[in-house]
Amino acid sequence: MSGVSEILESFHALLSASSTIWVELAAALCFTLGFLLLRIKSSKHPAKGAKKINATTRVHKVQSNNFSKQRTRMEDAANSGNATKLVQEWRAVQASSPTPKDLLKPVVQAFLDTETKALVPEIMAHLQCHKSIMANQWAATTILDAVARSGNMKVLEDFWGRITKELGIPHGWLLYEAAIAGYAAAGYPEKVEEFNLAMQKDNFRLSARGYSLIIKGFLKNGFVDEVLQYMVEMTQRSHAIPSFSVAQLLRVASETKRVQEVHKKLKERAIPMLPEAIAVLLEDCSRVPDGKFAHAIEQDARAANTELTASSYESLLKVYAASGDGHALQILKEIQNANLPISDSLCVSLLTRCAESKFIRLAEEIVCHVRKTSKMSIPIYSSLMKVYAYSKMYHKACDLYDDILADGIEPDGMMYGCLMKFSVECGRTQLSQKLSEKVSVPDIQNYMSLIRAAGRDRDVDRAFAVLQQLRESNVAPDSIALNCVVDVCVKAGNIQRAEKLVAEMEDLKLEDIITYNTLLKGYCQKHDSKAAKNLFSKMEESGKEPNEVSYNCLLNCLSSNGNYQDCWEIVDHMRKRNVQPDHYTVSILLKGTKNMRGAHDVQKCFDFLDQSGVDPCCDDILLNTVLEIYIRHKEFGRLSRLVAKFEKSNLQPSMATYGSIIKAFANLNEVDKCWFYWDQIQEEHGLEPNDIVWGCMLDALVTNRQVDDAMQLFQRQRRKPNAVICSILVKGLANTQQPRRALQLWREMKQNGMKMNVVAYNVMIDSQARLGNMDEVMEIVQEMAADNCQPDSITHSTICKGYAVKGELAKAIEVLENMQQSKVPHDAIVYNTILDGCAKHKRVELVEPILETMEANAIAPTNFTLGILLKIYGRQRDLDKAFEAFEALPRKGRFQPNAQVWSSLMNACITTQSTDKALKVFKDMQGAGVMPETRACTSLVQSLVRLEKLHEAIDVVDLVYGLRTKPSHKQRTSIDEECLESLLTILAQKGFLEELGAPLLQRLRAAKVSVSGRLMASALRTEVPTAPKSSSTKKYDDKKDTGHPWGAKDKTIGFGK
């Protein structure tokens, strides 16, 4: 029974599947049965009318012979493409015979090509004439399909309406699909949707073929969204999507820059990516290039076990080479293992991309592959030279010349010109001269390379000699060549010859803006701002309007001379002349901040950078400058935003930029990022970090107290140590209280031939002096003398610090006196060091003599000097001297007291329990625009709370956080949470929680000050002490449940949200 039921179920399934064509099958079955019945009936009466039948048969035979000949002529016309003749032959027989199936479509096509208007009426008449044979689905479908493919929608609509009305042919699923395919190919998505809905109303559904035709038509017209729609429908109907369609869809999306969007939608709908589609995606990635998207595509393909084609591998290589991604090396290895061919043109393309990304390691691997599998050529050598040149490794580019000759290749003129240029850049003058001799007929570019070589050697006479050779070769020097000679004069500092040559150029009318800019650069190098301004005026008067280069030269001169006011006037002049600042302009102004003393000018430079529209990531030199300035001025917010922007940019960093980036992340305490870029230099780009970058990486580790990692990196590198590296590592060991290890490291480096300098010795002395290890200090000083390194003021100051730390202040003063007698230049640092020792070891009697010595030697006191004195006087409880010093020293030293000094004065007042004076100091600080340190503010509030001066304590909190007025300073000061807890507790205990405590908390929260749950709970859990209440107090208490946020439970919850 189960077998029978299974058969029945299969039969029902078959009926369900064939429901769309059941009507047509039934009609065909009835036609066949009727025909058989007629044949049976006629066979029963063979004698009746026999003579008439025989006569008819003879006529049919004659007609058949005639049609056979006509058919042959129609086939010949169709095969030869003669549409006109085909129509004529068809007309000759169409009335007597129905058109054969194989000729119906060519006839319709012939009408469409020659007589479109006659198609519908004549074909319809023909179908009417032979209605019993031709008025059926196959004929209508054949005709409609031909019309649809022609794109003539007017004819299609005419025929569509008449086949049912005049011939009674129902609209079957084949007819629907033919019409829908026509509308899709013609680009009418709304008509496709209309006919699709009509088809569904007639209980028909699109077949897989129908969907494929729609998709193909829409792809032809570039309808991305419509194609996606019908692909989704196909998957929902369990139809397989045509293999060609996904790849073609992605090609169309690539043209409209929608590849990633379309890929995302295909992935969301689980539409599989075949190898051809993967190839299209990766090809699009290689055009951008987009390494991140390429990685995602590659990972998806490998996860799905989709085979990567040769085209996909090429695209991956291109995109990873362009983005400097080390994964390219793995892809290259896979290609080699699969024995896939790598053409010379692909190699040249990859090398060109490696040049732009400075991906030297991949470039050298590609060249190595070429050497193994084929021969080197001029294009490949030229591309490799370009790789080295882009990375400014001109010496390696020049070294290729010997390899070229060894391979038996003769460089062409262009390669000789490039080699000459590279030899000039790396200072190989002899090679440039040798190369110039190889060129039979040097062109002007070769002569210019020789002139530039003379400029590199600062040889003005040789530059003029080359210029003379150029003239003798019957080549008239143009302005470009003459400008090169002017540049040589400027580089050599020979302004007189430069001015003379410029005058000659003016006589020949060959001067241009570059001529004047070069001369302007010469004046700026001489710091002759007067001559520079005169030339600037001359340029404007002669019609040679200064450009951004001109302004940058003048800005550089003024900035170097410290004329910052003039710099801003030049910037204003640029704006008036609509000369846009470029990255050089920004770089020059930012470099000037190194010598700017006023915070106003520094902030003005930062504002100029923000308003200039110049992207610091557009140029690695500018990026280095901006990073350095942000680090120097501790603008860590700006620094963080800039490095984040760099990581999203396409800038390929140079070696110097890598050093700056590592230094930036070190200052942001992101050591993982430092390691990332350190590894990127070696593993991805195949470069060897130079000593500067090595030093930056070691300093990054040391700065973040990862000294052991720094020592391991130092030992792994196996480089010859230098004084800078020694200083960095010793500083790290000193900061982590490892003086013995520092001493051992120094001794090992000395044995390995490291040459010390004064800076390194000072760091070594400091590593021991800060802990008072004076025996070791003396050992280092003796080695310093043996190395003929003369101690400087820092050396003496550090030795003084060692004695001061140890408490041997007499010896420290003795070192100071020796400095004075030997007239060693020194500043306030050494005095401050000794004063700090006096403070720590309570040698107050030495303070006044030291101050007198400072004044006698005209040493200006500093904020640090004043801070130490305030600390000493505070401990002595001598506020008069403290205030006296606070008034006098800033005038003598011409400095403004900083936050640390103000805080020291306030602490002195608090220490002597002079809270009112401390509060006055605090308010004076507010007036001076200075905010004390957190510790001082906390101490002041605690002192006020102890004295139960609660209103004053709340005022201090308000001022610190800027709760009542907008703060004039950046919020960097706060008050310890325990101090705020004690304030709220005492307010509650005194019955002021509602009046003062709750509003204070509200203000803190409104100002977005972090208020912990513990702080809020401290107020909530404190109960007001019970006491006899007056009538007025009771009246007040009766109201408090509805009047303040702490009164009722629901309001307490609301306040806490």
Question: Which of 647, 648, 656 lies closest to 621 in space, CA to CA?
Answer: 656
Q: What is the pLDDT of residue 666?
A: 94
Quick one: which of 242, 312, 306, 305 has its CA closest to 281? 312
- Non-local CB neighbours of 564 within 8 Å, separated by 6+ positions: 558, 592, 596, 601
DSSP reduced 3-state for 78: helix
At 34, list the tokens.
């009727």
Q: Which amino acid is at 1013?
A: G
Instruction: Using 50 as the pLDDT threshold, list the residues of the chain that sit under it.
Output: 1-27, 30, 35, 38, 40-64, 968-969, 1022-1057
| Cβ atoms of 203 and 18 closer than 8 Å | no
Q: Which candidate, 821, 899, 825, places its Cα nearest to that of 863?
A: 899
For residue 972, the model assigns a pLDDT of 62
Q: What is the pLDDT of residues 237-291, one digit of tens each?
A: 888 888 889 999 999 999 888 999 999 999 888 888 999 999 999 999 998 888 8
The confidence score (pLDDT) of residue 7 equals 38
pLDDT at 566: 80
Separation of alpha carbons 903 and 931, rounded Å: 9
Q: How buried is residue 292: exposed, middle or buried, by Cβ count under 10 Å (0-12/13-18/19+)? A: exposed
Torsion sign across C-alpha atoms 963, 965, 970, 975: negative
CA torsion 729-734-739-745 (nearest 10°) is: 0
Token code pair at residue 303: 């996860």
Q: What per-residue confidence (pLDDT) applies to 588?
A: 82
Please tell me the predicted confidence (pLDDT) of residue 929: 81
Q: 42-88 pLDDT, tens per residue?
A: 444 444 444 343 443 343 444 445 567 778 888 888 898 899 999 99
The pLDDT, as a whole number, for residue 313 is 94
Note every long-range contact of 574-577, with CB atoms under 8 Å and residues 24 or more positions apart, other chains counting.
574/548, 577/545, 577/546
Confirm if 637 and 664 have CB atoms less than 8 A apart: no
- In this structure, what token pair is assigned to residue 308? 């990567």
Q: Which two tokens stand for residue 297?
A: 């595509």
- Nearest partner of 983 among 1007, 999, 1005, 1006, judged by Cα: 999
Return all residues near 886 (Cβ < 8 A) that are at least 6 apart: 866, 870, 897, 901, 905
Please report, in angstroms and rounded to a whole number, the separation of the first and last CA atoms in the chain: 71
Single out the residue of 717, 664, 665, 654 nearest to residue 691, CA to CA.
717
pLDDT tens-digit profile of 349-381?
999 999 988 888 899 999 999 999 888 999 999
